Amino acid sequence: MRRQIVHEGADQLTYEIRGIVAIAKQVRACGVDIYWENIGDPVQKGEKLPDWMKAIVSELVTDDTTYGYTETQGLSGAREFIAGQVNRRGGAQVTSNDIIFFNGLGDAVARMFGFLRREARVIGPSPAYSTHSSAEAAHSGYDHLTYTLNPQDNWMPDLDDLDKKIQYNDSISGMLIINPDNPTGSVYPREVLEKMIAIARRHQVFVICDEIYASIVYNGARTASLAEVIGERPGIALRGISKEFPWPGARCGWIEVYNQERHPMFKRYVNSLINAKMLEVCSTSLPQYAIPRIMGDPRYPAHLEQRCRMYERRVNSAYDILKDVPGITVVRPRGAFYMTVLFDPGVLKATQHLDIPSAQARALIEQKVQGVKPDKRFVYYLLGATGICVVPLTGFCCEREGFRLTMLESDETRAHMIWNTIARSITRYLESA
Ligand SMILES: Cc1ncc(COP(=O)(O)O)c(C=O)c1O
């Protein structure tokens, strides 16, 4: 090659949530049944879309117009519907021009970081959702910059840490919030969000808030949307249908842009996202036709409510099983559908192990654990010994050791078996050395 063709940020593109799948497939080839607790796809875990939603989509499929392109920013009817919803929240007011559709939030995130000036950094939470942290790191060519979420404070953001990090690093131009959060399941009260916006205001940075789990809030949590707290700051909220219909395979999400008219530079940045979309023509059409009809259906609020109650029950059962296991800390989730299990500092050792019945799987795991982080070592042993596939916390841009499991198993008996097996395996592993 006459030139280096690899982008400076290429090594930053890691996605442990799917990375673990390659190992799990090798374990499966050794004859071990795998329980996929790594990926946030409710459909893959057995959740069924209500028949009335499927009927709406079926009807749309018979309409030829749904097979065409949409306008670049997205279908005007869908954007008007979303803008109406934003405006009813009573905070920042938008028009359909402030709504831009993408092929899922994965696409939106890649564009948003891809079209940010390289020196302009965005600070995000740690633990971090890898799509954001990897995209930001890849765009800048440096490790992702993070502020701490504190497990001793229900995984709330350490506001002092956030404030100081922005103050002492003037390349930081944006603040990323994920509310409700993946991987911790925490939900930020309005006051916490207001304090974060006050920090953004003090340092003149813009705010991105990933609200893909906004409709999955339970256990009495109260929160606010970014639109309600953003005030006059430039801000972008990210929303989609992957988790709330749930229809992740639709690859459909959108951004809501707040206050672009007040901030010319921010407006230019948003325009660059639209121009980039223009080169691509538009995002997937069919789900955009479905959005106003499904979200505007009188059955939709009950659908969301029923799912919140379902996750609440599940999360509380898992929490009750795990909360008293020695050597770990779990915080009761209040939103989204994940739980983070944190190992107490110093309990993990390089000599610990689990008995792996399959000799072939044992040989594989013993080879794979060489030189890996202590929590990954546990995750690999858990996989080999029980087939349960979770994601190590150090894969979420985080120094703390632990793992994330999903709360998506729709077979209750199987879910209880998985949580009980995890609880027993933690105890056995920690006692093994
Ligand atoms: C916080 C968060 N944002 C975005 C996404 C991705 O959403 P989409 O399916 O729209 O790409 C996920 C998926 O797990 C997520 O957890």
Domains present along the chain, CATH in parentheses = 10-47+301-431 (3.90.1150.10), 62-295 (3.40.640.10)
pLDDT at 8 over 90: no
User: Residues 253-299: pLDDT tens digits?
Assistant: 999 999 999 999 999 999 999 988 888 889 999 999 999 999 999 99
Percent of the chain surpassing pLDDT 70: 97
For residues 279 and 312, the model is more confident at: 312
Question: Which residue lies with its CA nearest to atom 14 of ligand 1?
Answer: 40
pLDDT score, position 39: 86
Q: Which helix (H) or strand (E) holds 415?
A: helix 412-431
Q: What is the C-alpha separation between 358 and 366, in angstroms, rounded?
A: 12
The per-residue pLDDT for range 120-156, each reduced to its tens digit, is: 999 999 999 989 999 999 888 888 999 999 999 999 9
pLDDT in tens, 342-397: 999 999 999 999 999 999 999 999 999 999 999 999 999 999 999 999 999 998 98
Cα gap 147→118, rounded to integer Å: 20
Tokens describing residue 64:
């030829």
Contact 72, 98 (CB under 8 A): no
Per-residue pLDDT, 13: 58
Starting at the edge strand found earlier in the chain, the sheet holding 235-240 runs: 99-102, 253-258, 235-240, 206-210, 172-178, 121-126, 146-150, 156-157
pTM exceeds 0.75: yes
Give me the pLDDT at residue 3, please. Answer: 73
* Structure confidence at residue 19 as a pLDDT band (50, 70, 90): confident
Tracing tokens 């985080």 back to the chain, one arrives at 398
pLDDT for 171:
96
The residues near 225 (Cβ < 8 Å, ≥ 6 apart) are 89, 91, 209, 211, 214, 237
Residue with CA nearest ligand 1 atom 7: 105
- For residue 80, pLDDT over 70 is answered with yes
Query: For the segment 180-204, what is each residue's pLDDT rounded down to a tens digit?
Result: 999 999 999 999 999 999 999 999 9
**Ligand 1 pocket mutation pick from 216, 242, 247 by most atoms within 8 angstroms of CB:** 242
Provide the 3-class DSSP secondary structure of residue 15.
coil
Hey, which of 43, 131, 338, 397 would you mutate to test ligand 1's pocket, going by the most ligand atoms within 8 Å of its Cβ?
Answer: 131
β-pairing, 35-36 vs 388-389, is parallel
What's the pLDDT score for residue 11?
65
pLDDT value at residue 5: 66
| CB contact at 8 A, 147 and 195 | no
What's the rounded mean pLDDT across residues 32-50?
92
Structural contact between residues 241 and 249, judged by C-beta atoms closer than 8 angstroms: no
Per-residue pLDDT, averaged over 97-113, amounts to: 96
Which token pair is 73?
């920013």
- Mean pLDDT across 24-44: 92
Name all residues whose Cβ lies below 6 A of ligand 1.
40, 104-106, 129, 131, 178, 182, 210, 212, 240, 242, 248, 253
Torsion sign across C-alpha atoms 218, 223, 224, 230: negative
93 φ/ψ angles, rounded to the nearest 5 degrees? -100, 140
* Helix axes of 130-140 and 104-114: crossing angle, nearest 10 degrees: 20
Atom of ligand 1 nearest to the CA of 17: 14
Give φ, ψ of 363 to 5 degrees. -60, -40
pLDDT (0 to 100) of residue 15:
63
Answer yes or no: is pLDDT of 89 > 80.
yes
For the chain, percent of residues with pLDDT exceeding 90? 88
d(CA 305, CA 218): 9
Residue located nearest, by CA, to atom 16 of ligand 1: 182
Nearest CA to ligand 1 atom 1: 182
CA 270 from chain centre, in angstroms, equals 22
Residues 391 and 38 sit within 8 Å (Cβ to Cβ): yes
Determine which helix (DSSP H) or strand (DSSP E) holds 287, and give its type and residue range.
Answer: helix 286-295
Q: Is the peptide bond before 246 cis (omega within 30 degrees of 0)?
A: yes
Is there a contact between 93 and 83 (Cβ–Cβ < 8 Å)?
Answer: no
123 phi, psi to nearest 5 deg = -90, 135
* Mean model confidence pLDDT for the chain: 94
The residue contributing the CA closest to ligand 1 atom 4 is: 105
Q: Assess whether pLDDT exceeds 90 at residue 7.
A: no
pLDDT of residue 4: 78
What pLDDT, on a 0 to 100 scale, did the predictor assign at position 14?
A: 63
Q: How confident is the model at residue 2, as a pLDDT?
A: 78
Q: How far is the CA of 212 from the centre of ligand 1 (A)?
A: 7
The pLDDT of residue 20 is 85
Q: Given pLDDT bands bounded at 50, 70 and 90, which one contains residue 116?
A: very high
Eight-state DSSP code of residue 217: B
E-assigned strand segments in 114-216: 121-126, 146-150, 156-157, 172-178, 206-210
Residue 209 has pLDDT above 90, yes or no: yes
Distance of CA 213 from the midpoint of ligand 1 (Å) = 9
Q: Supply φ then ψ for residue 206, to 5 degrees.
A: -90, 165
Helices (H), 33-180: 51-61, 76-88, 104-114, 130-140, 159-167
The arithmetic mean of pLDDT across residues 35-58, rounded, is 94
Q: Which residue has the higher pLDDT, 102 or 395?
A: 102
Residue 18 has pLDDT above 90, yes or no: no
Tell me 97's DSSP state.
Answer: G
Rg over alpha carbons for the chain, rounded to the nearest Å, is 22
Which amino acid does the sequence have at 100?
I
